[in-house]
Structure 1
Amino acid sequence: MIDLCNGPRRWLPRAMLLAAPWSALPAAAAAELESTRLNTVTVTGNRLDRQSAQQPPASVTTIGGEQLESERINSIDDLQDIAPGLDVSSSDPYDTRVSLRGLGDGTDGEINIGMASSVGQYLDGVYLSRAGMIPRDLMDIDNIRVLSGPQGTLFGINTGGGVIDIHSRQPTFTPHASFSQSFGQRGYWQTRAMVSGPLSEHLAGRLNIATTNTDGNVENVRDGHRLNGSKREGLRGQLLFEPNEVFSLKAAVDYSSQTGEPTLTLYDSHAVDGVDQFLQKARQVGASTVQGKKVDLDEASYIRLEQGGGSLTAQWDFPSGYSLRSISGYRYFLYKPNSTDALSIPLYDTKGSAVHDRVWNQDLRLESPKGSLFDYVLGYSYVGENMDTFASTNYSAGYPTAWYGNTSYTNLSVLRWGELNEDIHSLFAQGTLHVTSAFDITAGARLTYEKKSGMFKRLNRANYDSGDLTEYHHLPSGTLNFSYRLTPHALTYLALSYSEKSGGLNVSAGAARSLKSTETLFILPETTRGAELGIKTDWLDNRVGFDVALFWTLVRNFQTTAYDWQNQTSYLTNAGDVRSRGAEAALNLKPTEHWSVNLGAAFLDVSYLSYHDGRCPPELTLGANAPTSCDLTGARAARAPKWTYNLRSRYEWDLGGVQAYVGGRYSYRSWSYGTLDNSEFTKVPGYGLLSLTTGLSGRLEQNQRWNASIWVNNALDKRYYRTLKAGDYGSAYGVLGEPRTVGMTVGVEF
């Protein structure tokens, strides 16, 4: 993708960037842009929002804001339906795991705050330490880029699996406002409002407000209440100051809250050695078992999430061609759950893991003038984090003894405290040598220094106090990219990368197997080596575009979780080596001016090259002579469907002053293991989803437009599961996907 602001290396007036057609650009600028354009040209009206020209060719899925809105991609969970190779596993806002090409978050079971994902998330250039910190409603988004594979230099720490880079729309110096209202089945409604415009000659502002409600798709047969619903509210305010052609400054703040009742439903129970132990236990204690879209719960889970933050972005574009950018940011995440068991009997009185996370960062980078033989970017980044967690499991009287066969659980309260502190400093440099007009070599390096400290304490079961824990790491990473333009319409590239991910600390569950030593509380950094060979093409005046890439990635000291059967808790560990290889392809067609077709696909082969001490599946642990660990070497990795693809199409036409459109999207993903033990019990079946939409839009007055649409999500009413987890005694529980939902959206822009 080429950003217009990164085309000609001279400042262009904002009005020209926003309104001028291609023919209105200076001839030299238009010629330069035409010579470098591949597939998509994004016209960006604000210099603060531009992408670095140093980003070399690689596999990137870019989703524009209009596409997100028209296809109703409302949250990070929905992104996997249009970005091949992306997998999002989420049972609630905090328990969100993201992977790209099968790599990302290797944890399973109990959430452990001591280890970050290797898929980095960025919101307007601000690093988010956890996937759950991405706002649940993707509100007023300009574009989202999903970069697959190791990102060794420009994006900083913990990006060995890839990056999700989110950019919101910027304030405008022309007045603009919009309002939309959506209604749908099962109590769905969503309201969005935006106003943007000048506050003075050099100051503009933008304000967004959104609220979303749904009653959920799971029925509690005990009282008839609908569960799995939520209510979300959010707002974002921005101020943009542009006193001259050289300097611009943007300040942004946002806040969002969410309440809900996330509910896992019983997927199935399984027999081991001819006995279904789950159903047997349920009958013994008088618990009912309900599957599918219904549950029988004596008490529902409840969560409350508050998060927000602010950022200050300054940009200097000097007449000499140099540019300097500074981004300062702060984010906080406050999560308070009250989780219950998934049974009709009260195993727990209360249970939950509360988390308070604060992240602050600073990014500073200097880019050289473009157009010479060699151009470069230099930078420094800092990330600080402080996270606290308090978890409690308060067992009730009577039922725990009958369920677990152990009297020690009666009225037991297990308490756990954890704390994590991080200071991460990085220096980086990347440059591109334009060997010829067709051949570029890009090389970059980043050196990161990390200090991580924390503590863990557990009371009333396997009591343990880790004391103060501290670890230090130097984490190098690098990029080497060769790109060659075969023709004006075809570019091929070879990308090589090396990345090291932060180390980890067991600060929310502890490494209970080694209570006499703190050695297993420390997790080694994860190292990633990657290679990608690809070609990007466009033909027939951008009516046909085809991209394809072959990739190979090797991860050593893979960070994952093990399980302590004695204390029934997960903890972090290093597993060994994991390899991800495969292919991605994208085909973009525009047969006519009014019709577009897009096809994206990915094939993944992700397996453990060495994993000698893995967790055993319940098929073995529930049987006779159960092993304490299993060798998963050569096995397929979890949460990595071999095939994913999506097909999107849209047709637009004019009805005499009123514009009409019809569109559809079909996305498919093959089966995958839902848990790290590769259990057949928690294997997520493959599924395909069809979504349809049609709408009209027209003009009210000169600068006012209206729009109305009818949409259907999961039009074929496919029953599917976003994720599956292991329950007790061979049972499996999952997050049930959205059933067929019909809705309507009306809006106005002025």
Structure 2
Amino acid sequence: MRKRPVLLAGVASLLLTTSPAVAAERVAEDNAAAEDGSAQSDITVTARRRAETAQSVPLAISVIGGDAIERTGAFNVNRLTQLAPTLQFYSSNPRNSAANIRGLGAPFGLTNDGIEQGVGIYVDDVYYSRAASSTFDFLDVKQLEVLRGPQGTLYGKNTTAGAINITSRAPTFELEGRGEVSFGNYGFKQAKLAVSGPLSENVAARLAVSTTGRNGTVYNTNSKVWTQSQDNIGLRGQLLWRASSLVDVTLAGDYNTQNPICCGTVYYGYGATQRATARQFPALAAALNYKPASTNPYDRVTDLDTELRAKNSTGGASAKVKWQVGKGTVTSITAWRFWNWDPSNDRDFTGLPITSLSQNPSKQNQFTQELRYGLSSRNLDLQIGAFAFNQSVHTTGTQQQGAAASVFLLSSAQITAACNASPATCANGSSGILNGLTAKNDIRLNNTSLALYSQASWKVTDRFTVQPGVRLNYDQKKGWYNSVVTNGAGTQVFTSSTNNALLSAQAGVLASQQFAPKFSDWNFSYDLTLSYRLADDIRAYATYSKTFKSGGINLNGVPSDANGNPLLAAATVKPESVQHLEAGVKSQFFNRKLTLNLSAFRTDIDNYQAQVTNGALGVLRGYLANAEKVRTEGVEIDSSFRLNDRFNVYGNAAYTDAKYRQFTTAPCPPELSGGTTVTGTQTPGVAGVAGALSPASCNISGQRLPGVSRWAYSWGGEYNLPAHLLGKDGEVYVGYDGSYRSAFSSNPSLSAYTWIHGYALHNIRAGYRVDQGIDVFGWVRNLTGTNYIELLTVASGNTGLIAAQLGDPRTYGATVKFQF
């Protein structure tokens, strides 16, 4: 019953009201009304590598302009999810980040350098291979487009779930500038400045800089500091050289850095597992005289005892050449990017020294080269492209167990046996068994991808268009995984160390492993879109895509066989085979004042890349494998109504039903884990009953995919009145943006303990602005102070401990923007 008013509000707004960008603004070049003043121009997009109106593009696309991004406070991809209902973003820290569209993208709950992101992120035509880049502030953005569905025949890197296409503001040959300064509670400070102008008759430059700082929102009683802070700096420069009337050359470079106190969790609760009662969290905490800083997560208090560090920097340089050749255009984009990651995490989620050190710094370099030819004529639009990508990643890190690890992670029988085998180790108690157990990791990846792609739009008649596309792709991945585990005495620990009770107990927690996985494969994919203009402002389309997501390699460790050797069959992951169907209608009414777009989709995936565990193989950690079949299907509505220059509203809705059609060897939820693994004809015990037998794996066919809300809405609008202040004619305005997402699972397999309840967020703003001048406004985000969870995490060891990552509390502040 509590959900019903929120749902009805979202539906009602749809009846009145495309994306927030349509409601909030128009692209600068298209912002003027038609000559007769009766109609608004359409938003211009470049989703298909050519300028065209959003309503003429036969695909589901959300368009958000730079001013709308700034007004709504959506300064990174995570904030963007409140405006685009089908976009989900999950991040326990910048490295462990994933963007999903319609429930697809990257496996939920596991970071692995050896797999592809299903959602491509492009900034000025340059592919960003690391999801960490999406945690940085948007910098001098002109427009952002979220493309839903496969985009492999149009974009350089294959993307099976969709793409986020970001376009920066370009250098200008007239001097101009824009900036903003914001202040808010929690010590929030943000400043942005961009200046553009000519250096000569044929050379123009643009420079943009931004900085964001905010105190933390969760207090750590152990370190006496506030965590979840923000500390971002961004810099971007562009140089445009108009070499001739036919050739433009754009050089760009950027650098972004983050150094927050991040990313911590709070105690969320406990859920009974099948581990012995004495080895579950309540008993273990009592034995160690430990109490969480608070058992109410919304007190925003934690007691993590390991340093929290999330140093993150990324940047690069690119050269884009556009050359008019006859009736077509040749475009070359050459780019290099880097990413450096220096973390420190508390992976036991408590104030106890269980995992006392968890840090895996990583460095990446990537090179891309894209060459494409575009031709637009009266009856044919054509894009032909070639793309080359090389990525090298090197991760070196350390995980170390602390003094409380033995009690938390070992059974009493293991402790007794280990102490009997090595009395000196237990001279000062059992803590010596695992204390100092250290894994030093050396992980490497070289990833190469080559592709040829093409897409054509043939206007068979003035109303009917046929759009076929093809892609030929080659992928090669070479990896190296070497984890050297030593105990407190300096002895190396192997999985095969079963003849010594001490080493055997240690190997059950961390064990040395080394392997060199390889993967390579060719793939051919294609799509076909048919579109028909039913009336001047009504267009219907239908798409079929047969595509793929590249295979991968496991770089987080794999199960071992009976002899302690890594199972190399589990070191590689098959490509996903994707079949996608979509149909939609794009329409405008009342002289284009009302926009109403509808799309329905269904995507079937064979060999879906998912996180798995298998107790029968003695797995110590999650790894990637292929689920047999997955399907996601749903309906999306984007709508807006612009009555006049004074009043506009928008409403978006998405229904997504994403489930495993067949997944027979999935990881089990915590309530079916922790006990002795069944063998032979044994029957698993009852869920959540201490000491019961646990299944080796679980059949979760028919269950929902994690992280996906069935229902998601966004709605809002803006109203303004003319005003004359400080000798200037302007307007006073008030704006509102709301969003809602229904409950979703935060565990790879559905668990009664890890459902995140649905929640609604409300943001408001009010201010005064002068066109192309000053804009002063106040804002409140999460107006109602809604307590909500972004992510729940089940602690390792099957103790039943569950930790939470909290969403932001209510924040408020003021912003001053200016242009010249």
Normalising by structure 1, report the TM-score: 0.91
Q: Could you tell me which of 764, 782, 785 is aligned with 1:717?
A: 785
Partners of 1:663 and 1:219 lie apart in 2 by: 32
Per mean C-alpha deviation after superposition, the further-off stretch among 684-693 and 463-472 is 463-472
Contact 2:273-2:673 within 8 A present in 1 as well? no
SS in 2 for 1:66: helix
Which residue matches 1:705? 773
Across the two proteins, how many residue pairs are aligned to each other? Answer: 718
Q: 1:359, CA displacement in angstroms? A: 1.3
Partners of 1:723 and 1:419 lie apart in 2 by: 28
- 2:673 paired with 1:671: no
Specify the code of the residue in structure 2 equivalent to 1:550. A
Which residue matches 1:301? 308
Specify the code of the residue in structure 2 equivalent to 1:390. T
Which residue matches 2:695? 627
Contact 1:39-1:538 within 8 A present in 2 as well? no
Equivalences for residues 466-477 of structure 1 within 5 A = 466-477=514-525
Which has the larger strand fraction? 1
Contact 1:18-1:43 within 8 A present in 2 as well? no
Specify the code of the residue in structure 1 equivalent to 2:792. L
Contact 1:281-1:403 within 8 A present in 2 as well? yes
- Per-residue CA deviations over 1:691-715 (Å, capped at 9, x if unaligned) read 000111237xxxx722211000000
Equivalences for residues 351-430 of structure 1 within 5 A = 351-372=358-379, 374-396=380-402, 398-405=403-410, 408-430=433-455
- The runs of at least 4 consecutive aligned structure 1 residues that moved more than 4 Å come to 17-25, 47-56, 272-276, 463-467
Q: 1:43, CA displacement in angstroms? A: 8.4
Unaligned runs of 5+ in 1: 2-16
- Structure with the bigger RCO (C-alpha within 8 Å, sep 6+) is 2
Structure-2 change in CA distance of 1:516 and 1:332 (3 Å): closer
Q: 1:190, CA displacement in angstroms? A: 0.7
Which residue matches 2:241? 241
Contact 1:287-1:343 within 8 A present in 2 as well? no
Q: Could you tell me which of 338, 341, 345 is aligned with 1:332?
A: 338
Q: 1:338, CA displacement in angstroms? A: 1.3
Structure-2 change in CA distance of 1:21 and 1:158 (3 Å): closer
Equivalences for residues 86-485 of structure 1 within 5 A = 86-109=87-110, 111-134=111-134, 136-222=136-222, 224-260=224-260, 261-272=262-273, 277-289=280-292, 290-291=294-295, 292=297, 293-318=300-325, 320-340=326-346, 341-372=348-379, 374-396=380-402, 398-405=403-410, 408-460=433-485, 461=493, 462=495, 463-485=511-533
Q: 1:20, CA displacement in angstroms? A: 10
SS in 2 for 1:299: coil
Partners of 1:19 and 1:629 lie apart in 2 by: 56
- Per-residue CA deviations over 1:607-634 (Å, capped at 9, x if unaligned) read 1111000000011114410111000111
Structure-2 change in CA distance of 1:68 and 1:422 (3 Å): same
Partners of 2:361 and 2:621 lie apart in 1 by: 17
Which residue matches 1:681? 753
Contact 1:190-1:212 within 8 A present in 2 as well? yes
Specify the code of the residue in structure 2 equivalent to 1:686. G
Q: 1:108, CA displacement in angstroms? A: 2.0
Specify the code of the residue in structure 1 equivalent to 2:134. I
Which residue matches 2:44? 42
Partners of 1:554 and 1:286 lie apart in 2 by: 51
Partners of 1:299 and 1:380 lie apart in 2 by: 47
Partners of 1:526 and 1:637 lie apart in 2 by: 16
Which residue matches 1:581? 633
Specify the code of the residue in structure 2 equivalent to 1:42. T
Partners of 1:54 and 1:512 lie apart in 2 by: 54
Partners of 2:317 and 2:207 lie apart in 1 by: 14
SS in 2 for 1:619: helix
Structure-2 change in CA distance of 1:119 and 1:43 (3 Å): closer
Per mean C-alpha deviation after superposition, the further-off stretch among 434-443 and 164-173 is 164-173
- Per-residue CA deviations over 1:492-550 (Å, capped at 9, x if unaligned) read 00011121111111123234468354221011111111010100001112110100011
Specify the code of the residue in structure 2 equivalent to 1:321. K
Partners of 1:326 and 1:653 lie apart in 2 by: 47
Q: 1:483, CA displacement in angstroms? A: 0.1
Partners of 2:607 and 2:733 lie apart in 1 by: 50
Partners of 1:265 and 1:516 lie apart in 2 by: 35
Partners of 2:723 and 2:337 lie apart in 1 by: 47
Partners of 1:230 and 1:716 lie apart in 2 by: 22
Specify the code of the residue in structure 2 equivalent to 1:213. G
Specify the code of the residue in structure 1 equivalent to 2:280. Q
Partners of 1:522 and 1:199 lie apart in 2 by: 52
Specify the code of the residue in structure 2 equivalent to 1:618. P
Q: 1:42, CA displacement in angstroms? A: 2.6
- Per-residue CA deviations over 1:689-745 (Å, capped at 9, x if unaligned) read 00000111237xxxx722211000000000001111112412221220110111111
Partners of 1:650 and 1:512 lie apart in 2 by: 59
Partners of 1:21 and 1:545 lie apart in 2 by: 17
Partners of 1:512 and 1:337 lie apart in 2 by: 28
- 2:565 paired with 1:563: no
Specify the code of the residue in structure 1 equivalent to 2:408. W
- 2:814 paired with 1:744: yes
- Per-residue CA deviations over 1:347-391 (Å, capped at 9, x if unaligned) read 23321121111111111111123213x332211011111011123
- 2:667 paired with 1:615: yes
- 2:579 paired with 1:507: no
Partners of 2:633 and 2:310 lie apart in 1 by: 38
Q: 1:227, CA displacement in angstroms? A: 0.8
SS in 1 for 2:285: helix
Task: Calculate percent identity across the aligned residue pairs.
Answer: 28
Partners of 1:546 and 1:698 lie apart in 2 by: 30
- 2:643 paired with 1:591: yes
Partners of 2:476 and 2:744 lie apart in 1 by: 36
Specify the code of the residue in structure 1 equivalent to 2:610. T
Structure-2 change in CA distance of 1:469 and 1:581 (3 Å): same
Partners of 1:312 and 1:721 lie apart in 2 by: 42
Q: 1:51, CA displacement in angstroms? A: 7.2
Per mean C-alpha deviation after superposition, the further-off stretch among 541-550 and 285-294 is 285-294
Specify the code of the residue in structure 2 equivalent to 1:75. N
Partners of 2:344 and 2:321 lie apart in 1 by: 41
Q: 1:564, CA displacement in angstroms? A: 5.4
Unaligned runs of 5+ in 2: 1-17, 19-27, 416-429, 486-492, 496-510, 675-688
Partners of 1:577 and 1:48 lie apart in 2 by: 33
Contact 2:663-2:699 within 8 A present in 1 as well? yes
Partners of 2:658 and 2:243 lie apart in 1 by: 52
Q: 1:186, CA displacement in angstroms? A: 0.9
Q: 1:104, CA displacement in angstroms? A: 0.8
Partners of 2:789 and 2:108 lie apart in 1 by: 19
Contact 2:94-2:135 within 8 A present in 1 as well? no
SS in 2 for 1:558: strand
Per mean C-alpha deviation after superposition, the further-off stretch among 398-407 and 529-538 is 398-407
Specify the code of the residue in structure 1 equivalent to 2:344. N
Which residue matches 2:583? 533
Specify the code of the residue in structure 2 equivalent to 1:455. W
Q: 1:95, CA displacement in angstroms? A: 0.7
Which residue matches 2:545? 497
Structure-2 change in CA distance of 1:252 and 1:746 (3 Å): same
Contact 2:227-2:264 within 8 A present in 1 as well? yes
